[in-house]
Amino acid sequence: MKVSLLVGAVFLTAGGFLSAQKIEFYHNGELKKGELLNGGLKECKEFSKKDNYWVLKGKCQITFLNANNKEETIIMKTGEELQMQILSPKISSREKSEIRIEGVQLTAKKKQFSEISIQQEALQNLQSFSIGDVLQQLPGQYVQQFDNTQFKNIVFRTASGSPITGSSTIPGGDDFGNRAFGVQLMVNDIALSNNENMQSYNSANSSPFAIDFTVSGNSGNLTPGQPNYGVDLREIPTENIESIEVIQGIPDAKYGDLTSGLIKVNTIAKASPLRLDASLREGTYQVGLTKGFGLNKNNALNVAVSYMNSLSDPRTSLVGYDRTNFNVLWSSHGKSGFSNKLTATFSTNTSKGRKDPDDLNGIIINVDNKSFSLGNNISYNFARNGRKPFFRSISADVGINYATQLTERRYWLNQGARPYGTSSVNDVYYAPYTPPSYENQAFADGKPLNIYTNFSINGTKMTASKWVHSYSFGANFRYGDNFGKGRYGTAGQFTTFKSTGQGSDGMRDYNYRDNVFSSKQYAFYVQDNITKAFANKNILRANLGLRYDLQNSYSTYSPRINTSYQIGNLTVRGGVGLTSKAPSLNQLYTAPRYFDFLLGDYRLPGYYSAAIMQTVVTPGDNSDLKPSRSWKTEIGVDYRLPFGSFNLTAYYNTLFDGFTTMSVLKTMNKAKVNVNIVGTEIPTFEIVGTEKFHYLQNRIVNGYQSVDKGLELMANFKKIEALNLFIGFNASYVETSGRKDDGLYTFKAPEISDKNFEYGIYNDTRNKSSMARASFSFDYHLPKAGLIIGLRTDHFLSDRKLTGANDIYPIGYLKSDGEIQMIPESERSNPLYQNLFLKPSDEKLSGLYKKTLHNVHLRVTKDFLSGFRLSVYVSNVFNLRAYDEKGYLYPNFTSTSFGANISYKF
């Protein structure tokens, strides 16, 4: 094994190493960063100087704190050699790169198992206003149509929808929704949660993945952050981010409440000059100010302020999004063994959708969110002064976030006075009327609170046979609640009735503070990361973990295994694991379901208006919802050649107990009333009997299953010195299929009324999607000139969503008396049921089938010695227009746009 290190602030004497601070080194081809611990070099008895390097030979142990503030140890064997470059204490590699762009990682790179790392310079490879833009470098992703007025989340390894939303094609539905909901985002090992977001207006009757409070018009589309879709990535700016690690496969047992993938963001505090950043792209501009203070040798403080303003259409301010973020980060590393990182963040974001002055019926959407979060990472290292305890360190991560969220929807109605339901109990009563014309208003006022804590004990042990175990035992706890005023609005804000005999789902005010109970998750885990280097220099690695989750009274045992075996330049790896995701508060607590039926409407102009309404109330909460779960399996090979490395991964992921909607057939005793009308007096009524009436209501259940299977290829080539060129490549192919569980049928009333069949019953429609994409990156890099010219290509090789011709024959029907009758399979095409036959539909095909599309994007970055740094970005350099087979514009193809970023270090 041969390891190269770059060490800053290293002091030598004839006796050896006295102290060390910042280190950067490559180990097995992987860049590591951190701080050398006091006494972190042990048994290094033989060293010599060669050119600008110190050469260490023989048995040696190097212990340091890595970029994640975790202790890590490298052990050299007898006969192995380590080359260490000694730099001036005043000029570290990082400080040099602030003047000139040095040898930096320009693209996302594969790590040991399913992790993909994105380092600092790669964060800017795409013009990033938030981490959602950064993640477009991953396999299967692509440069998206730019629009920050719509929420952005992400899905991994699926063909169920646009990988990162943010275009006019934001998908709803169970396929995409379950996968987006199952992505976990963590900053400095503290989970960010959207589980407490309840900003919806009809969760009792809509699907778990409906899109709420949207507006669309000539001035653009506005979609605020949504419940049940994961964290809105627009809310996370990229200032102070040291690295991002994405785990699309099997995470360690430490991480839970996820089914799709994990995003780990690591921020850093260090002494740095005052820096001003400004970015502009289409209708979006962003300005930011950062400064790092070196308080003393072991303490640093970083302050960052940023503001972003985005308009859907730069020619008008009718549709827009604003974000303000203030962040303070303090880190401390003392000789006593304590390390601490404290982060405080205050942020606001607003979404405004104003109606066009020429559109009298336009919808107005106003969203105003404010949040405060506090996070702390603390650890204590026992392994000091030559001690080798069984538990080398303990660590604790604590995070709390509180937010206020106010969403408002308004539009003008001029439809005459109409009755609407108001009763919150089963009743027959006189219903009020709306004004003839009025402004319809609906509000959602939420105050979500979430708390995350994690405690772990960590150790490292080498056995007599040289097996290295890095083990940890831990527990974490999550708490979520919402103390908001809830949903409320004007009279008849949801359902009004035009004529007698109509029935519909109604809505009532719903207070979150009084009706929503807290969500609690407890977890315990054990993890052992094993490494064994054999005499033939082959290396075995195995990450073995077991996690126990107690999520709202439901237990899940999650075994997780990642293994790899390295034979020279070839590594074979594989993994399997179970993960789970708890339901959100918005899925659990939906408010009761109200069904309003207008029995009669009697009006005598100038004297009275009397509407007789019947309301039936059904409990609406879904407290019996279980967590959704996913088995994740993958195998892969990595191969290193003299000119680059290649990574191929095959995966098979199965989601079950996913969240979906079930149609529930309800029967009410509809009142028969006699109405007594006398002159100009208000009519009176009496109930003289009842009759059966059937209607449908939705309910959220665990009843969805899907499969994602595919291949991923990543290739990173070494710099071609003669051309100063870096080349990267990734490609992916994935197939996705999904369906509701057996027994979750579709009910549909026949188009022609039939006394024999009130509803036909049909199988749920299954779907299948597939996607193939590839991407190249070419980066021309001149370190001495501080210049990078980057070319990114996106290749859409296939993109098809197939919905087969629907089954036109019913599998059963509902009789008028409420009895359900199933039809034997051999009888379903019998003409006796022809009134229930559905119209046949052709196989629906969207996306690309027989053609491929290609797009090219450009980035030019120049670093000036004066402190300026300028970057220019062009998406779709050749101004291409892409059409699918049907002649429609392909929605995933980014149109031409220009952007620029300028920064200055004082």
Which tens digit of pLDDT belongs to each residue from 583-632?
A: 999 999 999 999 999 999 999 998 999 999 999 999 888 889 999 999 99
Please check the confidence at residue 159 and state whether its pLDDT lies above 60: yes
At 834-893, the pLDDT tens digits run 888 887 665 555 567 778 899 999 999 998 888 888 999 999 999 998 887 778 888 888
DSSP of 709-770: EEEEEEEEEPPBTTTTEEEEEEEEEEEEEEEEPTT--EEE--SS--TT-SEEEEPPPPEEEE
Q: Let me know: does 482 contact 511? Beta carbons within 8 Å.
A: no
CA atoms within 13 A on the CB side of 99: 7
Higher pLDDT, 360 or 443: 443
Angle at 740 between CA 738 and CA 742, to 5 degrees: 125
For position 888, what pLDDT does the model report?
A: 80
Higher pLDDT, 753 or 53: 753
For position 871, what pLDDT does the model report?
A: 92
Please check the confidence at residue 98 and state whether its pLDDT lies above 60: no
Please check the confidence at residue 21 and state whether its pLDDT lies above 60: no
Distance of CA 124 to the CA centre of its chain: 20
For position 718, what pLDDT does the model report?
A: 87
For position 99, what pLDDT does the model report?
A: 33
Task: Compute the average pLDDT of residues 262-274.
Answer: 90
Q: Let me know: does 660 contact 744? Beta carbons within 8 Å.
A: yes
Largest CA distance in the chain: 114
Task: Compute the average pLDDT of residues 422-429.
Answer: 94
781 closest CA partner among 843, 719, 850, 728: 719
User: Lowest-pLDDT range, 93-107, 172-186, 221-235, 548-562?
Assistant: 93-107
Query: Which single residue is written with the structure tokens 């989601």?
Result: 655
Q: Let me know: does 547 contact 563? Beta carbons within 8 Å.
A: no
For position 801, what pLDDT does the model report?
A: 77
| pLDDT tier for residue 296 given thresholds of 50, 70 and 90 | confident
Task: Compute the average pLDDT of residues 810-816.
Answer: 86
Please check the confidence at residue 458 and state whether its pLDDT lies above 50: yes
Please check the confidence at residue 30 and state whether its pLDDT lies above 80: no
At 486-529, the pLDDT tens digits run 999 886 656 888 888 888 888 899 999 999 999 999 999 999 99
pTM for this entry:
0.85
d(CA 542, CA 532): 9
Average pLDDT over all residues of the chain? 84
Please check the confidence at residue 8 and state whether its pLDDT lies above 60: no
Higher pLDDT, 788 or 387: 788
For position 798, what pLDDT does the model report?
A: 87
Which residues neighbour 724 within 8 Å (Cβ) at sequence distance 6 or greater? Answer: 780, 781, 782
Q: Let me know: does 150 contact 353? Beta carbons within 8 Å.
A: no
* Residue 229 neighbours by CB distance under 10 Å: 25
Backbone angles phi, psi at 692, to 5 degrees: -75, 140
Please check the confidence at residue 906 and state whether its pLDDT lies above 70: yes
User: Lowest-pLDDT range, 1-5, 76-80, 194-198, 399-403?
Assistant: 1-5
- Angstrom CA distances, 612 to 93, 223, 415, 428, 601, stand at 79, 38, 20, 7, 6
Encoded tokens for 273: 């000059």
373 closest CA partner among 322, 329, 332: 329
User: Lowest-pLDDT range, 16-20, 109-113, 417-421, 576-580?
Assistant: 16-20
CA dihedral sign of residues 44, 47, 50, 52: positive
Task: Compute the average pLDDT of residues 253-266.
Answer: 94
Estimate the share of the chain in helix, then strand, then coil, as percent rounded to the nearest 5: 5, 55, 40
Q: Which span out of 142-146, 202-206, 552-556 was modeled with the highest average pLDDT?
A: 552-556
Distance of CA 329 to the CA centre of its chain: 24
Higher pLDDT, 537 or 30: 537
Please check the confidence at residue 672 and state whether its pLDDT lies above 80: yes
For position 100, what pLDDT does the model report?
A: 40
| pLDDT tier for residue 110 given thresholds of 50, 70 and 90 | low
User: Lowest-pLDDT range, 322-336, 351-365, 394-408?
Assistant: 351-365
For position 340, what pLDDT does the model report?
A: 92
d(CA 343, CA 415): 53
Given strand 593-604, what is the order of strands in its sheet?
427-431, 608-618, 593-604, 503-506
Encoded tokens for 193: 């949660």
For position 399, what pLDDT does the model report?
A: 96
Task: Compute the average pLDDT of residues 321-329.
Answer: 96
| pLDDT tier for residue 803 given thresholds of 50, 70 and 90 | low
| pLDDT tier for residue 166 given thresholds of 50, 70 and 90 | very low
- Fill in the DSSP letter of residue 577: E
3-state secondary structure 649-695: EEEEEEEEEEEEEEEEEEEEEEEEEEEECCCCCCCEEEEEEEEEEEE
Please check the confidence at residue 394 and state whether its pLDDT lies above 90: yes
3-state secondary structure 356-390: CCCCCCCCEEEEEEEEEEEEEEEEEECCCCCCCCC
Encoded tokens for 372: 């405060």
Encoded tokens for 116: 């993909």
Angle at 578 between CA 577 and CA 580, to 5 degrees: 145
| pLDDT tier for residue 342 given thresholds of 50, 70 and 90 | very high
For position 10, what pLDDT does the model report?
A: 35
d(CA 737, CA 739): 7
Please check the confidence at residue 634 and state whether its pLDDT lies above 60: yes
Query: Which single residue is written with the structure tokens 């030559």?
Result: 386
Q: Let me know: does 139 contact 114? Beta carbons within 8 Å.
A: no
Strands (E), 213-283: 215-217, 220-222, 241-247, 261-267, 272-281
Strands (E), 534-607: 539-551, 554-567, 570-581, 593-604
Encoded tokens for 452: 């995350």
For position 6, what pLDDT does the model report?
A: 34
For position 850, what pLDDT does the model report?
A: 79
Angle at 193 between CA 190 and CA 195, to 5 degrees: 150
At 688-722, the pLDDT tens digits run 999 989 888 889 999 999 999 999 999 988 888 88
| pLDDT tier for residue 754 given thresholds of 50, 70 and 90 | confident
| pLDDT > 70 fraction of the chain, expressed in percent and rounded | 85
For position 87, what pLDDT does the model report?
A: 46
* Residue 878 neighbours by CB distance under 10 Å: 9
Instruction: Give the residues across from 305 on adjacent strands.
Output: 289, 326
